[in-house]
Amino acid sequence: MSPVKRQRLMLVGFLVLGVSAAAALIFQAFQQNMMFFFSTSEVAEGLAPIDRDFRVGGVVVENSVSRASDSLKVVFDITDLKTPIQVEYTGILPDLFREGQGIVAKGQLNAQGVFVASEVLAKHDENYMPPEVAATLHKPPAAAY
Protein backbone atom coordinates (compact mmCIF):
# COMPACT_ATOMS: atom_id res chain seq x y z
CA MET A 1 0.00 0.00 0.00
CA SER A 2 1.39 3.37 -0.95
CA PRO A 3 2.00 6.03 1.71
CA VAL A 4 -0.66 8.33 0.18
CA LYS A 5 -3.35 5.62 0.37
CA ARG A 6 -2.31 4.76 3.92
CA GLN A 7 -2.59 8.45 4.91
CA ARG A 8 -6.05 8.73 3.34
CA LEU A 9 -7.19 5.53 5.04
CA MET A 10 -5.97 6.79 8.43
CA LEU A 11 -7.69 10.16 7.85
CA VAL A 12 -10.98 8.45 7.00
CA GLY A 13 -10.59 6.19 10.06
CA PHE A 14 -10.02 9.19 12.37
CA LEU A 15 -13.01 11.01 10.86
CA VAL A 16 -15.28 7.98 11.40
CA LEU A 17 -13.97 7.60 14.94
CA GLY A 18 -14.51 11.30 15.68
CA VAL A 19 -18.05 11.35 14.30
CA SER A 20 -18.89 8.16 16.23
CA ALA A 21 -17.56 9.64 19.48
CA ALA A 22 -19.52 12.87 18.95
CA ALA A 23 -22.72 10.93 18.21
CA ALA A 24 -22.23 8.81 21.34
CA LEU A 25 -21.77 11.91 23.51
CA ILE A 26 -24.86 13.58 22.05
CA PHE A 27 -26.94 10.44 22.55
CA GLN A 28 -25.77 10.15 26.15
CA ALA A 29 -26.67 13.81 26.84
CA PHE A 30 -30.18 13.27 25.44
CA GLN A 31 -30.65 10.16 27.57
CA GLN A 32 -29.67 11.99 30.76
CA ASN A 33 -31.97 14.96 30.04
CA MET A 34 -34.96 12.93 28.86
CA MET A 35 -37.98 13.32 31.11
CA PHE A 36 -40.50 10.49 30.93
CA PHE A 37 -44.21 10.81 31.74
CA PHE A 38 -46.07 8.22 33.84
CA SER A 39 -49.69 7.89 34.93
CA THR A 40 -50.46 7.41 38.60
CA SER A 41 -51.35 3.76 37.95
CA GLU A 42 -47.94 3.17 36.35
CA VAL A 43 -46.22 4.81 39.32
CA ALA A 44 -48.21 2.69 41.78
CA GLU A 45 -47.31 -0.47 39.81
CA GLY A 46 -43.61 0.36 40.17
CA LEU A 47 -42.99 1.14 36.49
CA ALA A 48 -41.53 4.59 37.21
CA PRO A 49 -37.79 5.06 37.84
CA ILE A 50 -36.67 5.46 41.44
CA ASP A 51 -33.33 7.21 40.94
CA ARG A 52 -34.23 9.94 38.43
CA ASP A 53 -36.75 12.70 37.74
CA PHE A 54 -39.91 11.99 35.78
CA ARG A 55 -43.29 13.61 35.27
CA VAL A 56 -46.58 12.31 36.62
CA GLY A 57 -50.01 13.66 35.86
CA GLY A 58 -53.54 13.28 37.04
CA VAL A 59 -56.46 14.99 38.69
CA VAL A 60 -56.13 16.38 42.23
CA VAL A 61 -58.33 14.25 44.50
CA GLU A 62 -61.12 16.12 46.30
CA ASN A 63 -60.43 16.85 50.01
CA SER A 64 -56.85 15.59 49.80
CA VAL A 65 -54.93 18.88 49.91
CA SER A 66 -53.15 19.41 53.23
CA ARG A 67 -51.01 22.49 53.87
CA ALA A 68 -48.41 22.81 56.63
CA SER A 69 -49.04 25.80 58.89
CA ASP A 70 -45.34 26.60 59.42
CA SER A 71 -43.96 26.19 55.88
CA LEU A 72 -44.86 26.11 52.20
CA LYS A 73 -45.17 22.31 52.23
CA VAL A 74 -48.32 20.92 50.60
CA VAL A 75 -49.34 17.26 50.45
CA PHE A 76 -52.11 16.10 48.11
CA ASP A 77 -53.23 13.07 46.14
CA ILE A 78 -53.57 12.83 42.37
CA THR A 79 -55.27 10.11 40.38
CA ASP A 80 -55.76 8.95 36.81
CA LEU A 81 -59.28 7.97 37.93
CA LYS A 82 -57.98 4.47 38.72
CA THR A 83 -55.14 4.68 41.25
CA PRO A 84 -54.22 7.63 43.50
CA ILE A 85 -50.68 8.49 44.62
CA GLN A 86 -49.52 10.99 47.21
CA VAL A 87 -47.58 14.07 46.10
CA GLU A 88 -45.49 16.29 48.37
CA TYR A 89 -44.48 19.76 47.20
CA THR A 90 -42.67 22.58 48.97
CA GLY A 91 -43.18 25.93 47.29
CA ILE A 92 -45.84 28.20 45.91
CA LEU A 93 -48.45 26.34 43.89
CA PRO A 94 -49.77 27.82 40.63
CA ASP A 95 -52.75 30.15 41.03
CA LEU A 96 -54.94 27.74 39.06
CA PHE A 97 -54.17 24.76 41.33
CA ARG A 98 -57.28 23.33 43.00
CA GLU A 99 -58.99 20.05 43.79
CA GLY A 100 -60.60 18.26 40.86
CA GLN A 101 -58.18 19.83 38.39
CA GLY A 102 -55.65 18.18 36.09
CA ILE A 103 -51.97 18.80 36.89
CA VAL A 104 -48.54 17.60 35.84
CA ALA A 105 -45.79 17.37 38.46
CA LYS A 106 -42.06 16.88 37.94
CA GLY A 107 -39.97 15.15 40.60
CA GLN A 108 -38.88 11.82 42.09
CA LEU A 109 -40.23 9.05 44.27
CA ASN A 110 -38.84 8.92 47.80
CA ALA A 111 -38.12 5.74 49.80
CA GLN A 112 -41.69 5.68 51.16
CA GLY A 113 -43.22 5.77 47.66
CA VAL A 114 -44.36 9.39 47.92
CA PHE A 115 -43.79 11.52 44.83
CA VAL A 116 -41.72 14.55 45.89
CA ALA A 117 -42.40 17.24 43.30
CA SER A 118 -39.92 19.93 42.38
CA GLU A 119 -42.41 21.61 40.02
CA VAL A 120 -46.20 21.59 39.67
CA LEU A 121 -47.99 22.75 36.53
CA ALA A 122 -51.75 23.39 36.34
CA LYS A 123 -54.14 23.80 33.42
CA HIS A 124 -54.81 27.34 32.26
CA ASP A 125 -58.58 27.30 31.71
CA GLU A 126 -61.67 25.14 32.13
CA ASN A 127 -61.36 23.49 28.70
CA TYR A 128 -57.68 22.56 28.80
CA MET A 129 -55.99 19.56 30.34
CA PRO A 130 -52.34 18.67 29.74
CA PRO A 131 -52.23 16.23 26.80
CA GLU A 132 -50.35 13.59 28.81
CA VAL A 133 -53.00 13.67 31.55
CA ALA A 134 -55.89 13.52 29.07
CA ALA A 135 -54.30 10.54 27.31
CA THR A 136 -53.85 8.56 30.53
CA LEU A 137 -57.40 9.32 31.69
CA HIS A 138 -58.83 7.94 28.43
CA LYS A 139 -56.45 4.97 28.10
CA PRO A 140 -58.13 1.59 28.64
CA PRO A 141 -56.93 -0.34 31.70
CA ALA A 142 -54.04 -2.75 31.14
CA ALA A 143 -55.03 -6.37 30.69
CA ALA A 144 -54.24 -8.68 33.57
CA TYR A 145 -52.05 -11.66 32.82
Domain ranges of the chain: 1-34, 37-138
Q: What is the pLDDT of residues 23-82, one digit of tens each?
A: 888 888 776 666 788 889 998 888 888 878 899 989 999 999 999 989 999 999 999 888
Element containing residue 29 per DSSP (H, E): helix 3-33
pTM above 0.75, yes or no: no
What is the C-alpha to C-alpha distance for residues 49 and 57, in angstroms, rounded to an integer?
15
User: At the fourth CATH level, which superfamily is domain 37-138?
Assistant: Nucleic acid-binding proteins (2.40.50.140)
Q: What is the pLDDT of residues 57-71, one digit of tens each?
A: 899 999 999 999 899
Q: Are strands 73-79 and 66-67 parallel, antiparallel or unpaired?
A: antiparallel
